[in-house]
Amino acid sequence: MERKRIGSPRKLGVESLEGRWLMAGNVTATLTNGRLSIVGDAAANAVAVFEDHSTGMLEVLGLTDIGSMATPGSATTINGGASAEFSSVNSLKVDLKGGDDSFLLTDATLSGSVRIETGQGNDNVVIGAMPDVNPAALDTTRIPSDLLATTFHQVSIGGNLYIDTGAGDDQVVEAGVTITGSDYVDGGKGNNSVFLDVFTDTVDSLPALGVNVGKTLAIYGGYRGSETVGLNTVTGNRAYITGSSGADQVTIQNSNFDTLGVSLGRGDDTLDISDTTTTKDTYLSGGKGDDTLASTGNTLANLHQHGFETTT
């Protein structure tokens, strides 16, 4: 299955590096009854969480930035040091507070839920594979070679995944992720991008890794901005995508749901849906504004479609 370029999403971690160099901050990581809590500060924190295969423990590693780890300057510290490791972690709660924060969860299996908040600032959250990161640009003194060995790092979550990126122009990427419960993404105020198994440029030849959601996938693009959403090889029971007030661009391809609802709200929005199947109900709403629906190769059960001024 081929990946299709969707819009012109920002490359991970290339923006606003200035300021991160000196403002990496400290993150506190504490384990209580199986729940690992990771709390940042007002600085631009960059944190990766993954399994350390040499110990079998979950490692929390401070980075300069998840997308440009070769950037000179001090990395975020974890409990005052470079990293910390924890065993018997069931669930994860992350709050990185203000600043342009980056959070990566990769190569990990958690039996419970994962909750991530990144607060104000332009934040990046990556769950699963990180193939957009150029390995040649990575700082191997900061990232274990184990993490660089392959670009496929899948994540399995037994509970729900909840991501709230707060105010700012935020980006969320998920790929190679299996969630038994529900997957909630709230972009908050600003111009937000949410990509589920959609990448840009150099990785077009990679196979799709998919995002599999056991229950509900709900993406709220946010408000007072425009939203870019891309779904590729996503499966779920129910999927609901809600647009922002600006010009939203939603692309859904090669995906399967029982029920799909897309509501684009105000603004001149575009919905491009292809090679996608629904088995129960389908609600597609363009809302106010001059909206375009492009549909091809789909099998959409019980289709209710309205508010699109242009259909192709």
Among 107, 123, 164, 197, binds Ca ion (CB under 5 A): 123
Per rule CB under 5 A, is residue 236 in the interface with Ca ion? no
Nearer to Ca ion, 168 or 286 (CB): 168
Among 97, 142, 153, 238, binds Ca ion (CB under 5 A): 97
Nearer to Ca ion, 25 or 243 (CB): 25
Give the shortest CB-99-to-Ca ion separation in angstroms.
4
Count of chain residues binding Ca ion (CB under 5 A): 11
Nearer to Ca ion, 99 or 181 (CB): 99
Interface with Ca ion in residues 3-62 (CB under 5 A): 40, 45
Per rule CB under 5 A, is residue 227 in the interface with Ca ion? no
Q: Are 161 and 177 in contact (CB under 8 A)?
A: yes
**Sheet bearing 83-86, strands edge to edge:** 83-86, 57-62, 46-52, 102-105, 124-128, 171-175, 192-196, 227-232, 249-253, 270-274, 292-296, 310-311
Write the DSSP symbol of residue 65.
-
Per rule CB under 5 A, is residue 96 in the interface with Ca ion? yes
Per rule CB under 5 A, is residue 168 in the interface with Ca ion? yes
CA 245, CA 250: separation in Å to the nearest integer?
13
How far CA 8 is from CA of 188, 207, 230, 271, in Å, comes to 20, 20, 11, 15
Give the shortest CB-120-to-Ca ion separation in angstroms.
6
Instruction: Read off the tokens for 41.
Output: 């500060």
Give the shortest CB-45-to-Ca ion separation in angstroms.
4
Chain positions contacting Ca ion, by CB under 5 A? 40, 45, 96-97, 99, 101, 123, 165-166, 168, 170
